[in-house]
Structure 1
Amino acid sequence: MEKRVYPRVAANFSAVIANEDGIKLKVMAMDASSEGLCVECNTIERNLVTPGGNFVRDGKPVELFVWLDLPDENGGTAKIEARCHVAFSRRIANDRCKIGMRYLNLEKKAYEKLIRFIEYAMASND
């Protein structure tokens, strides 16, 4: 049973991720929650933003910057940005991966936009 106040919602939306070295990729976010999100990419892209596909660097989780275009209830998008750390990197097919991230730094206004998106997505799924 889901124990989160705001559960993870499955939704495809555009995202840009960048690592600390400045490598940026446009990816597809697969789901989001108030605590983090998961994106899908190919293995080459994963290896570009995480060192050789590893999500730990120098004994710490790899940090990524994320820019999200969250669909809103008016047919537009709510743009937010966050600093995250990689929680997992998992291969889902021969050349496809999922990268799970947890928010480290999310401004209050961005968090409010994220909660509105989650509530909207949950209401749309009812």
Structure 2
Amino acid sequence: MKKIIAIVTIMLALGYSANAQQRNATTAVKQQNVEKVAIQKAAQKDLKALSDFVQLDDNQKQAFLGLFEYKHRDLATPNFSQERKDILAEVMEAKLNATLTADQAEKLSKNTALLQQLTH
């Protein structure tokens, strides 16, 4: 009888523990989805600001959307140092200038506020 009670108690404890772990995993997945949506919205906001200022074709829009998602994903990383932020801004500016045509890049470089928003 003692063995049966011990086995039932162990099974209940294991079942409870497994259920608690599953809830924690579900919460973590929901949090990741929320962060992913926030990153996508921020990237779309940057893309809209750029496309409102400079005429972009579909290939450029797709390339910039991926670039801006990369930027916001990196900036959302915990413990992202100021030095890494500065390097990211330089990389963003270089990729913007490389992807845009000469006229578009020149027009963007004159709008320092927008350039600052897109690179930082």
Band the TM-score falls in, shorter-chain normalisation: under 0.3
Which of these two proteins has the greater Rg computed from alpha carbons?
2
What TM-score, normalized by structure 2, do the two folds share?
0.27
What TM-score, normalized by structure 1, do the two folds share?
0.26
Structure whose residues are more often helix by fraction: 2
Structure whose residues are more often strand by fraction: 1
